């Protein structure tokens, strides 16, 4: 693969693909609920359902393609989905400080005995 997608690009693609899938399904349902006995209208509606069905299948294929891309990207380690923002960095630093303080308190009181 030449270019690796970023997390933000993947989120945008996910949202676009899901939106497309839902829109196509809604279009099919809207077309299918119209009741006309006219042959011309029925022909047009049949064609619309056919077009929307094809587009729905394409949207589903796009989602499958996206999942494959995500799997490949995670497999080869090019996608940083665990990126930390500033809040996560501060929280992790605070947890490390708390752990060191607890370790120091245990060692000072002699509660932690080295393995022999």
Taking the alpha carbons of 6, 3, 12, 68 in that order, is the dihedral positive or negative? negative
- In this structure, are residues 73 and 4 in contact, taking their beta carbons and an 8 Å threshold? yes
- In this structure, are residues 27 and 45 in contact, taking their beta carbons and an 8 Å threshold? no
- What pTM does this model have? 0.57
- Model confidence over 24-43: pLDDT tens digits? 999 988 887 777 778 888 88
- Model confidence over 55-69: pLDDT tens digits? 999 999 999 999 998
- Confidence grade of residue 91 (pLDDT, cut at 50, 70, 90): confident
Half-sphere exposure of 9 (CA within 13 A, CB side): 10
The angle at the Cα of 50, spanning 44 to 51, to the nearest 5 degrees, equals 90
Q: Which helix (H) or strand (E) holds 41?
A: helix 39-75
Q: Percentage helix, strand, coil, to 5, in the chain?
A: 75, 0, 25
Spatial distance between the Cα atoms of 103 and 100, rounded to a whole number of angstroms: 5
């Amino acid at each position: 693969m030449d270019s690796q997608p970023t997390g933000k690009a993947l989120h945008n693609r996910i949202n676009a693909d899901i939106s497309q899938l839902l829109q196509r399904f809604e279009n099919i349902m809207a077309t299918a609920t119209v009741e006309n006995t006219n042959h011309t209208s029925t022909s047009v509606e049949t064609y619309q359902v056919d077009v929307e069905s094809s587009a729905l299948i394409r949207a589903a294929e796009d989602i499958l393609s996206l999942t494959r891309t995500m799997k490949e990207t995670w497999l080869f380690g090019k996608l940083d989905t665990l990126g930390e923002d500033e809040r996560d960095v501060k929280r992790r630093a605070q947890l490390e400080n708390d752990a060191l303080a607890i370790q120091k308190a245990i060692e000072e009181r002699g509660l932690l005995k080295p393995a022999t």
